Structure 1
């Protein structure tokens, strides 16, 4: 997007006249908006094959729900306090100093980040003051840094993950604001900041790497009855009566949370088959991930159904 047309303000000084140009956006090299994808999930479309994992299909227990509720009550203050700690110990207050004129680094909790734990946002505004003297004009540039860290309400569900995400995104902001690096987000400068964070806060479980591999706790999971592909969502947006597997076009079964039983108290034919086969297949393949287990069960189901035909 091209920069908006600049307006000029005329400021009166007892010493000289100053014209300050307010630029809403600098050229691309001076404006950074970086996204760090924690996991690459093919999220909202059903005709794409999503990554599966060893994630349990057991619903959250009351104790887990209470733990999450307690974390939600304190997470905002935890984020603010740790951000201040990082600035003080990692950059010696430099990030706070350079962003002070725009209100400092802002923490923003987001409901729209569904597969990304955090994101660092940064923009540099250049203000040019034209000093008019007796014989010449001189331009003086001043910079204002606008920055924020977005945090996902859905992905960040415990304190350790929160602190690691903030540390990672803070390293990006230090890279932007102090080093002026905008075209190599995980380069050597970033790794220097990351190593410093890990060294100072490693005892708290903080380890800043170039990528995260967090297991996202999706509330709902549907599994293909033929190929075992899993479709994960934060909301109940898939209807097995209307939607089919995007990979093989077979039918889907909800596997998390386990659907309530029918009025007659019976599970579906496929659910009963999975229940019967799960222990058998796991005992035969003790070191196999859940994805492979479900794939084997799906293959057996396909063979059983083909014999019925």
Structure 2
């Protein structure tokens, strides 16, 4: 969050008190997959009937979409214009109407390198990619995780099977795939069989606990076998030396 706080401190958009509140909540949200940022508005009515309503706001930024500082700077400034429109003018609708555009104009006058538009038109980088197997379609699909099961999903355009292309770096080159851990391989090979041995409806947590227990036992047996073979080899070497 240090980067967003840095930009926030560098954006003294006009406010009755001098600038936006220093305690404005700005947080990352990993669940924002298709939008760069959101501003949430809140209006509270005090218990005192003569007290004015209390207007507050908070900003959420996508940790998936905002993968460089320039996107972060532009998006945060965009969202702070929404915040200013709400806190100063008590206006949220239309979201990109005259009030928003007025604040955007003030911000761009201060920061000429920023172009604050009414939407976040960024090309989103997806490290995991799939492609339609139909040579006349070749539609590509991207995700932030390896979440498309090609056995269950097909191309949305032509209904043909999908092919997993792999994981890629931001520069487009294939990412080096790490070998799964021994435990991950053990889970893949044995989890289904272990689950079948347990009563129907056994919670996943208990299944994984049983898998972990069996993995530890198998690992211990393997270590004992290796230790035993090492002892036998040492004994054989000793006998050979005595015979010499």
TM over 0.5: yes
Distance 1:90 1:79 in 2: 19
Instruction: Provide the residue aligned with 1:218 in structure 2.
Output: 126
Match of 1:116 among 26, 35, 46: 35
Paired residues, what number? 169
Residues 72-151 of structure 1: matches in 2 within 5 Å?
76-86=1-11, 88-91=12-15, 93-94=17-18, 96=20, 104-129=23-48, 139-151=49-61
Moved segments of 4+, more than 4 Å: 92-95, 258-261
Contact 1:128 1:142 in 2 (8 A): no
Distance 1:228 1:198 in 2: 41
- Give the TM-score normalised by the residue count of structure 1: 0.50
* Residues 148 and 123 of structure 1: CA distance in aligned 2, closer, same or farther (over 3 Å): same
2:142 counterpart of 1:232 = yes
Deviation for aligned residue 1:89: 4.0
Deviation for aligned residue 1:260: 8.9
* Residues 243 and 260 of structure 1: CA distance in aligned 2, closer, same or farther (over 3 Å): farther
Match of 1:242 among 137, 147, 152: 152
Listed as ranges, the gaps of 5+ residues in structure 1 are 1-75, 130-138, 262-309
Listed as ranges, the gaps of 5+ residues in structure 2 are 168-173, 178-244
Q: Over aligned residue pairs, what C-alpha RMSD do you find?
A: 2.3
Deviation for aligned residue 1:95: 5.6
Distance 2:6 2:176 in 1: 43
* Residues 92 and 200 of structure 1: CA distance in aligned 2, closer, same or farther (over 3 Å): farther
1:88-116 CA-partner distances (Å, limit 9, x unpaired)? 3433645635xx7xxx3101111111111
Task: Flag the structure with more relative contact order, 1 or 2, with Cα contacts below 8 A and sequence separation at least 6.
Answer: 1
Structure richer in helix, relative to its length:
2
Deviation for aligned residue 1:183: 2.0
Deviation for aligned residue 1:256: 4.4
2:97 counterpart of 1:174 = no
Instruction: Provide the residue aligned with 1:164 in structure 2.
Output: 74
Distance 1:127 1:92 in 2: 21
Worse-superposed segment, 112-121 or 242-251: 242-251
2:94 counterpart of 1:184 = yes
